[in-house]
Chains A and B, each alone.
Chain A
Amino acid sequence: MKILIVGGGKTLYFLCRNFTAKGHEVVIINRNLEECVHLARQLSATVVCGDGSDPKILNESGVLEANTVLAITPNDQDNLVICQLASIQFGVSKAVALVNDPDNAEVFEKLGVSAFSTTRIVGSLIEQRASLEQIINLLPAGEGLVNVTEIILDADSPVAGRLLKDLDLPENALVAVVIRDNQPIIPRGTNQLLAGDRVVLITLPENHGPVLKTFTGEQK
């Protein structure tokens, strides 16, 4: 696959290293001559020095043969124009833009450009980790095909006080054990869940998030 990346900095460097290691052909466009020299020395990629939003530079960089164009400069307006030129003028099938301002993700989609916001991605990852403080144990089993998770139900848990059979559990999930006052209970549908219970859940990676949400509720 031939990938054209416009931008600079560490993100570009490591992305490019990652792509070339996987055997992809990478072309970099960067405005800064010094950085270009540095990149060309350290990476096995073609480096073009110039403005990536200039159709002439894009053309010279071989955009016509590129499968993918990534625009990851620190300026949203440049990333937008680069992707639009790539897809409209040069017919590149996949052009993806980084949006520095997360609000621009929706704006770009409206203008027909696929966009992602690192701020949003990192933010949601941190939230996921931080919000699941009730998880005390997470164990992948069967080479990661199954997750075994132990959580403590707090008083705010939407399932506290409810019967197991009344839970609206996503498919392919199981409450394996409930530990109450150090006594393990292999539960049946008629068992009630209480705040303070330690619950061992069996989930699959694809339903892990929704299942956990059933037990911990929406976190603020």
Chain B
Amino acid sequence: MAFEVSIKKDFGEFRLDISFKNHGDRMGILGASGCGKSMTLKCIAGIEKPDQGRIVLNGRVLFDSKEKINVPPRKRNVGYMFQNYALFPTMTIEENIGTGIKRDKEKRNKIIQEQIEKFQLKGLEKRYPRQLSGGQQQRAALARIMAYNPEIIMLDEPFSALDAFLKDTLQQELFETLGHYPGDVIMVSHNRDEIFKFCDTLSVMDQGKVAAGGNTREVFKKPVNVISARLTGCKNISKIQKINSHELLAIDWGMKLKTTEEIDQDIEYVGIRAHRLLPGNTNERVNSMKVELVRYAEAPFEAAYLVKNAMEPDSKDIWWISAKKEFDSAAIAGLPKYLVLPPQELMLLQA
């Protein structure tokens, strides 16, 4: 199980230029909307034609601009789950699931029955898509893809159409079902939580290009550049000036920081996740910053403080998020005098 993509497509003001490989893993593409994630899936599915490049799925060339190969989508054998599921509104769920099956009637009905059972759609066979809830529609769409028996499954923002309350359960369900699927799976999302939960490997996409890639945990743990840091949820990023091999000046925050890691020549930014700042009452600890509050927001389980360096009035804001211990007391009382940016938590980033 493997696929390889290396394609270019020019849209005038926007250029898609990406390449990646996958070997049977569940792969994620993380990117902001409009970065070209969905376009990439469409190119793999054959819905859009790249200007140049090559797409190979399990040794089968689907597209090759040099050899003038462009297999039509219906012969690519790829499963594509659309953001809005794209169930055919004039067909029942049963008929929808049957559309991709190319077998005789008996075999076909058997496959439909199997999928209906597997995706807990029993009793809904004769219903029309609009009579189903969002979660049921998603299951039906997946059942339709599974019945088609594709070599690869591509999920385009699979949870964006669902309300938050349902999301967790449905995510779990979807991940379990796809866990048994032997082929490659690509999931495209702008939501880092979904990607983190589901994907073994990850490509971060920005403005039509792959900005970073690798093992999902690694990319989250140690993003190499500003865009991957930002997309994996790092709120605090500052431009730097290198002082020596283990010390830098964070220009936006107006303070010097010591690092555990050696600062390479190509490092231009430093970042720290909002959850990783530590409170302090004195400036004794290394990388302490005297803070003043700019804004404060309280969520059910955590409190987010937007603060700035009290010694530098022109410095940029920095987020600190701390888990709340109780609901009633005003958490604002919890803002300490100092915040510590622990050296081992600093992420050194390329531009």
A interacts with B:
no
